[in-house]
Structure 1
């Protein structure tokens, strides 16, 4: 979803600018490291963002929606680099679609579109590694499919929580009119993320920073623990 400057007061926009600046500073070193080690993944994900975000859909409430690609980005280059990439990508995206006047809310937009999905991705990836056996299909379905679907729902909840505070939507029933859209988008996001994760695992595993050959490709790995016993 693309925010517009007239939706928000100056105070939350300024606070978001400070928070984004601090987050980008903290993420600068790991992002540069990834850019040096995985420049190809950086370019591929940038192309995905261009395609995902061009699939724009609107509703009668005046809001417009698009796919994210953030979960796939977290698998490919990690959350710190994704935050940098989304922030940089939003600049031309907002200029082309809304104009320079809306750049004031770019930090708020970047945080809302990145942090919820990245947090869900990190949480599920930790749970998958901590509580589940090291199985290839679990990596794809948990970290790809389910993380993308839940990440889209979390993003929708965060975005609508912010927009609902705007006087421009004071009379709009966003919970019943807009939030169901994120359920539909979640299916598309989950399918594409899981699909590309599977393709990369099969043909280009070096594009996935979170994929470990030693963990997921050992012949003894199985979903059922009893099958791993000699």
Structure 2
């Protein structure tokens, strides 16, 4: 393992310990509906992140659905669920165990935190309206999040010397433009459906504020 890979593992473990959501296990044990929701989330993300495409082996692209995950569970529980997803991908040999720490940072820790901060900014500074929640915290945040994810992966591979920058730029980073709208549409559609039919699934959605007739 390289110094980068070891550092990634250490920082990932420190973040798991420091930000472990203590309320998660009691809720999971006592609420069967929440159990089904969590298990479906983990299995769905594992399947989604396993489907990859790319021009050059090692420079693979996949959708994240990370913004939806953050809005459903909050950042801390979302990071814990991504830990389970990562373990499944490691067992399926989709992610090398040595890369797991840096994979975590570039795929869901930093992009997930970024997406959550965008939600907080929209909640704090914009009108609390259903359209704002769906379009800004969902649609727009998802597009920016996957763009950040692909930029972080590009910097990681370049810093480790896996690929030259021109190869990364031409065969990976340029393709990020093609993922922005589909990722935004995927998240925006999922959040719209949940806000209308299953608002209790969205931990960050508040009926009294976003659906208030006074707004």
TM-score for the superposition, normalised by structure 1: 0.83
Partner of 1:228: none
Partner of 2:11: 19
Partner of 2:68: 72
- Distance in 2, matches of 1:33 and 1:215, equals 28
Q: Shift of residue 22 of structure 1? A: 1.0
- Distance in 2, matches of 1:211 and 1:142, equals 13
Q: Does 1:55 align with 2:42?
A: no
Q: Shift of residue 171 of structure 1? A: 6.5
Partner of 1:121: 115
Q: CA distance change for structure 1 residues 82 and 46 in 2, over 3 Å: closer, same or farther?
A: same
TM-score for the superposition, normalised by structure 2: 0.88
- SS of the aligned residue for 1:164 comes to helix
Partner of 2:186: 192
Partner of 2:210: 216
Q: Shift of residue 92 of structure 1? A: 2.2
Q: Shift of residue 33 of structure 1? A: 5.9
The runs of 5 or more residues in structure 1 that have no matched partner are 1-8, 222-230
Partner of 2:83: 87
Q: Shift of residue 30 of structure 1? A: 4.9
Partner of 1:6: none
Bigger CA radius of gyration: 1
Per-residue CA deviations over 1:140-159 (Å, capped at 9, x if unaligned) read 11111001000000111111
Q: Shift of residue 194 of structure 1? A: 0.5
* Conservation of the 8 A alpha-carbon contact between 1:31 and 1:84: no
Q: CA distance change for structure 1 residues 14 and 62 in 2, over 3 Å: closer, same or farther?
A: closer
Per-residue CA deviations over 1:61-92 (Å, capped at 9, x if unaligned) read 64111111211110001111121211221222
Per-residue CA deviations over 1:5-40 (Å, capped at 9, x if unaligned) read xxxx52111111111111101222254466456434
- SS of the aligned residue for 1:155 comes to helix
Q: Shift of residue 164 of structure 1? A: 0.7
- Distance in 1, matches of 2:165 and 2:57, equals 10
Partner of 1:154: 148
- Name the stretch that deviates more: 90-99 or 175-184: 90-99
Matches within 5 A, 1:166-185: 166-170=160-164, 172-185=166-179
- Name the stretch that deviates more: 173-182 or 185-194: 173-182
Q: Does 1:204 align with 2:185?
A: no
- SS of the aligned residue for 2:50 comes to coil
Name the Cα RMSD after superposition: 2.1
